[in-house]
């Protein structure tokens, strides 16, 4: 969407920072494979996309603002020839929107080309950036990924893997990286395991690494496994090597919101089916907050599995009540005042035939700023629903994320300001209930190893006072 269009509507969804793909293959058509991998990860970021490819000597890159299918076509992919490539699709967390922050970042070094694409967020990026400036480095962007790229480019060591291993201990926070050098692709994951990253074997004998297993499946990968926290993986054609560079954190901190909202339902996260966990969340929500009703309706698409689970556990029939316009992602046409006021109606239409005269349980995955829930409840009432009971398949979000999820700060989060009764009045539902933290983790089937800081305020690593995601923009306006 344009910078200000429908801002309330789009801001009320959580946004992942990005998706990354890296491929090394016997084939020179790697750019096309990276494109399809990014296409499968489009849900992780819609602001910008980029692909960098190396032919063993020279690296080339193409990146721009927009969706993957807008940035790339046959003519932009044609020059990207080579057997090694990485790609990125972006939603910004550190560093504002804009083409200069599009990834991968590609630089020339004394050791050859270096390109880096990053999913996550460093909590010490400001300190690291200040150190680089004090050392005389010039910075062209406002992203923590550029900081990581320049630190790696200037590190000592015989190989890129050695330089990476020596640099990792300086980075605090979330990072799943894919790195392109002249003759291989390198991937690494932070020792807490915040953001997902998996590797698989391609049908041609090469290897691919990606943020989600759904992208690896799209590429036909077999023998898939997670990149372990603190592990460096090197892909060179039909060869793969693994190196444990950092000791994994004593307490892992996988992001629970991969299950709640971010990941595609056909992905695996921590060895678990995302779709299966979402269904169990719905079942648990029905146990915790049952209410008499006639129909269970999801907010599509991420809440569909949970609504199926809620229906199955409660015995209340499931049906569609909202139809989503899946192509609203970006528009630069300024809407009229009337259409801006109908922002939710731009994204959803109600199915009156399934709602009229019925008591409705509306299932959604999260409540962030609260600007979408109220209009959705009203949309159902206008379509004939006699009651609307809102059920959320995660606990109340009360604290900001510092590890790669743009959910705003405390003042932006409605559950940080209002209690349950007040929230229910704001969204004008007949009742409102959230899934408990214990209930969510029982649905996951794990009690430890996850980051739930946005619910509890208990961060797995020390964090400073929250900064705006565009706080590096002071000079580079």
379 DSSP β-pair partners: none
> Is-catalytic flag, 424?
no
18, 214, 221, 451: which one is catalytic? Answer: 18
Q: How far apart are alpha carbons 17 and 471 in whole angstroms?
A: 16
What's the token pair of residue 332?
A: 């630069």
Integer distance in angstroms from the first to the last C-alpha of the chain?
A: 21
Q: How far apart are alpha carbons 11 and 395 in whole angstroms?
A: 19
| CA distances to 169, 475, 476 from 130, in Å | 17, 13, 15
What's the token pair of residue 158?
A: 């015989």
Peptide bond between residue 74 and the one before it cis (omega within 30 degrees of 0): no
Q: How far apart are alpha carbons 236 and 102 in whole angstroms?
A: 26
Check: CB of residue 90 under 8 Å from CB of residue 103: yes
Sequence-separated contacts (24+) of 270-279 with Cβ below 8 Å: 270/226, 270/446, 270/449, 271/226, 272/444, 272/445, 275/305, 277/443, 277/444, 277/445, 278/302, 278/305, 278/306, 278/309, 278/393, 279/305, 279/306, 279/308, 279/309, 279/312
Check: CB of residue 106 under 8 Å from CB of residue 115: yes
Indicate the helix (H) or strand (E) that contains 215.
helix 213-218
Query: Which residues are the active-site residues?
Result: 18
């Amino acid at each position: 969407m344009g910078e200000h269009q429908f801002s309330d509507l789009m801001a009320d969804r959580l946004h992942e920072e990005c998706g990354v793909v890296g491929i090394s293959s016997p084939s020179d058509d790697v750019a096309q494979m990276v494109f399809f991998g990014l296409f499968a990860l489009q849900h992780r970021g819609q602001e910008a996309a980029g692909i960098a490819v190396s032919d063993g000597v020279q690296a080339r890159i193409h990146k721009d603002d927009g969706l993957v299918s807008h940035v790339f076509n046959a003519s932009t992919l044609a020059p990207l020839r080579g057997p090694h490539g990485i790609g990125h699709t972006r939603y910004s967390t550190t560093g504002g929107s804009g083409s200069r922050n599009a990834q991968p970042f590609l630089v020339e070094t004394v050791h050859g080309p270096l390109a880096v694409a990053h999913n996550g967020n460093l909590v010490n990026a400001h300190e690291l950036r200040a150190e680089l400036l004090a050392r005389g480095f010039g910075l062209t962007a406002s992203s923590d990924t550029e900081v990581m790229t320049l630190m790696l480019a200037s590190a000592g060591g015989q190989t890129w893997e050695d330089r990476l291993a020596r640099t990792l201990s300086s980075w605090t926070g979330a990072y799943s990286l894919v790195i392109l050098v002249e003759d291989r692709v390198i991937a690494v994951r932070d020792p807490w395991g915040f953001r997902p990253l998996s590797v698989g074997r391609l049908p041609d004998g090469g290897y691919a690494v990606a943020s989600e297993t759904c992208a690896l499946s799209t590429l036909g990968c077999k023998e898939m496994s997670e990149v372990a926290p603190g592990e460096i993986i090197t892909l060179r054609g039909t060869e793969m090597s693994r190196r444990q560079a950092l000791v994994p954190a004593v307490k892992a901190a996988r992001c629970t919101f991969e299950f709640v909202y971010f990941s595609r339902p056909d992905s695996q996260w921590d060895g678990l089916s995302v779709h299966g966990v979402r269904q169990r969340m719905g079942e648990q929500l029905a146990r915790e907050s049952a209410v008499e009703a006639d129909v269970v309706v999801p907010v599509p698409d991420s809440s569909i599995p949970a609504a199926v689970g809620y229906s199955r556990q409660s015995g209340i029939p499931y049906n569609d009540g909202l139809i989503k316009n899946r192509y609203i992602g970006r528009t630069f046409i300024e809407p009229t005042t009337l259409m801006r006021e109908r922002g939710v109606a731009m994204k959803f239409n109600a199915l009156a035939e399934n709602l009229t005269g019925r008591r409705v349980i509306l299932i959604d995955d999260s409540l962030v700023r609260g600007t979408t829930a109220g209009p959705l409840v009203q949309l159902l009432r206008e379509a004939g629903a006699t009651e609307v009971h809102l059920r959320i398949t995660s606990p109340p979000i009360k604290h900001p994320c510092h590890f790669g999820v743009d959910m705003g700060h405390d003042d932006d989060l409605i559950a940080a300001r209002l209690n349950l009764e007040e929230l229910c009045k704001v969204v004008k539902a007949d009742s409102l209930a959230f899934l408990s933290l214990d209930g969510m983790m029982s649905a996951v089937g794990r009690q430890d190893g996850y980051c739930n800081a946005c619910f509890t305020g208990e961060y797995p690593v020390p964090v400073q006072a929250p900064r705006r995601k565009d706080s590096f923009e002071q000079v580079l306006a």
